[in-house]
Amino acid sequence: MVDNRCKGCRDDYVVDSKQIERVLASPMFRSDRCVSDSEYLTRLDACMSCPKLQGGTTCLVCGCIVQITAKLKEKRCPYPGEDRWSIEAVS
C-alpha cells in the first residue's frame, strides 16, 4: 500500500524532545546569532498557541521545528499576514 502522506508527517520522521535538545546544545545555539532566553520563551509561547502548530514541534506553514527556529535571530514567524513573534503580536 502506498503512503501518500507527506514525508514529514510519517511516523519515522517524528522529532522527539531529545533530538531537539541535542541540536540546541550545539555551539551554533550559544552564539550571538540567537535571541535572548526571554525572547525565545516569548516566541515559543506564541508558537504553542498557534493553530498552525502540529505535534508541539512542527510549524505547518513553513515545516520548521519551532523550538529550533525560534532560537535564531534572523528567523521570523511565517504565519501568513501576521508575525506572531513580533512585540505587537505578543503584547
Residue pLDDT, tens place only, 27-75 = 989 889 999 999 999 999 999 999 999 989 999 999 999 999 999 999 9
At 53, which helix (H) or strand (E)?
Answer: strand 53-54
Any idea which residue has 546544545 for its cell? 25
Please, where are the H alpha helices in 1-91? 17-24, 37-48, 66-69, 87-90
Per-residue model confidence (pLDDT) at position 12 = 76
Q: What are phi and psi of 79, to 5 degrees?
A: -55, 130
Per-residue model confidence (pLDDT) at position 37 = 93
pTM more than 0.85? no
The three-class DSSP label of residue 71 is coil
- Taking CB atoms within 8 Å and a gap of at least 24, the contacts of 9-14 are 14/55
pLDDT tier, 8 (very low <50, low <70, confident <90, very high otherwise)? low
Per-residue model confidence (pLDDT) at position 87 = 57
Give the C-alpha separation, 30 to 71, whole Å.
Answer: 10
Question: How many alpha carbons lie under 13 Å from residue 43 in its C-beta half-sphere?
Answer: 26
Per-residue model confidence (pLDDT) at position 72 = 96
